[in-house]
Structure 1
């Protein structure tokens, strides 16, 4: 995913299927300048990660190798 699309999803009131590896995630913040996103993994608000937006995928989950 690119930064522009991550921002569109973050700002939208609609729900989008976003995945990090095989995990469903919710985009909580996007750092446009650095190409990073803070995501909530699954349904646990305390389980967050900050990752490069290019690791995020829209649609069906992709497995990390």
Structure 2
């Protein structure tokens, strides 16, 4: 995924399915400079991690 799309998904009012390493995640913030996103899984919302945006996959 690219930075622009990650920001669009983060700001979207609708839920857009995104996965990281095969697990559904929510994008909480995007750091454009570092090209990272802070995400959490739907099953464990208390565990936030920072990942490189290009590792995120938008599910169709």
TM-score normalised by the chain length of structure 1 = 0.85
Match of 1:33 in 2: 33
Match of 1:42 in 2: 42
Q: What is the total number of aligned residue pairs between the two structures?
A: 60
Structure 1 gaps of 5+ residues are 61-65
Q: What SS class does the counterpart of residue 10 from structure 2 fall into?
A: helix
Cα RMSD after superposing both structures:
1.1
Q: 1:46 Cα shift?
A: 1.0
Q: Is the 8 A contact 1:41 1:49 kept in 2?
A: no
Q: Which ranges of 4 or more aligned residues in structure 1 deviate by more than 4 Å?
A: none
Q: Deviations over 1:19-58 (max 9, x none)?
A: 0011100000000111000001123221111000000000
Structure 2 gaps of 5+ residues are none
TM-score normalised by the chain length of structure 2 = 0.91
